[in-house]
Amino acid sequence: MAQRFSYWHSVRNHGIEGMRVVLFLAFVMTSVLYGQNQLPPEKIKSDVTALQNAVNESVGASLPGWGVLQGAKAAYLDGYGIVVNMEVALDAPATPFSGQKSPEEVRTTAAQRRKEVEDKLTNILKEKTASLQSIAPNESVAIIVNILNTNPAYVPDMPAQIIFTVKKQDAARVKVQPYK
């Protein structure tokens, strides 16, 4: 009787031991493969900083002085790519102490600045994305521009956010998506 229990015991453990070996080998192989794909932090930091500075310079030139409310901040997201975030105002708020502008002037100015910012950021993504070394060909770059509508009565249809995305493997096609 003692032998029967030991026989069942060994058969039961035989399947589990085989599974443990397979899982251990899979873990070792994935950790080796995963470790080979990681880039040094210096390369990631230089790409992130370069893109962040290019966005700051470009938007800062289009919206001088008061326009950039929060400068560009970029981060690398593993598995996605680089994400840049910033906040802008396309027109100065109307105050009792500033010169009065007509609603048409405010709308025209805001539309012109929005178009200029969109064109510049699209060009930055087209130029810089292909040369980024820290992202894989299947990863993306995104620029998120949060827009403060300082004159909502004059420009009610202004989006609250515009997101620019592009994949590295297809850097010529930038997707521009406004959100209200």
CATH code for position 124 = 3.30.300
Please state the rounded mean pLDDT for residues 17-46.
Answer: 62
Q: How many domains does the chain have?
A: 2
Q: Quote the domain boundaries for residue 54.
A: 41-179
Asked if 13 and 49 sit in the same domain, the reply is: no
Please state the rounded mean pLDDT for residues 61-86.
Answer: 88
**Cβ proximity of 141 and 121 under 8 Å:** no
Asked if 11 and 68 sit in the same domain, the reply is: no
Torsion of CA 74, 75, 76, 82, to 10 degrees: -30
Asked if 128 and 58 sit in the same domain, the reply is: yes
Residue/partner pairs of 27-33 with CB below 8 Å, 24 or more apart: none
Q: Collapsing DSSP states into helix, strand and coil, what is residue 108?
A: helix
Q: Which residues pair with 81 in a beta bridge?
A: 77, 140
Whether the per-residue pLDDT at 32 is higher than 50: the answer is no
Asked if 96 and 174 sit in the same domain, the reply is: yes
Asked if 48 and 95 sit in the same domain, the reply is: yes
How is 62-81 classified by DSSP, letter by letter? HSTTTTEEEEEEEEEETTTE
pTM beyond 0.95, yes or no: no
Q: Band of the pLDDT at 130, cuts 50, 70, 90?
A: confident
Location of structure tokens 């609603």: 103
Enter the tokens of residue 9.
């015991």
Location of structure tokens 């900083």: 49
**Cβ proximity of 103 and 154 under 8 Å:** yes
Q: What is the pLDDT of residues 86-97, one digit of tens each?
A: 999 888 877 777
CA distance 49 to 72: 10
Report the half-sphere exposure of 22 (CA within 13 A, side-chain side).
Answer: 6
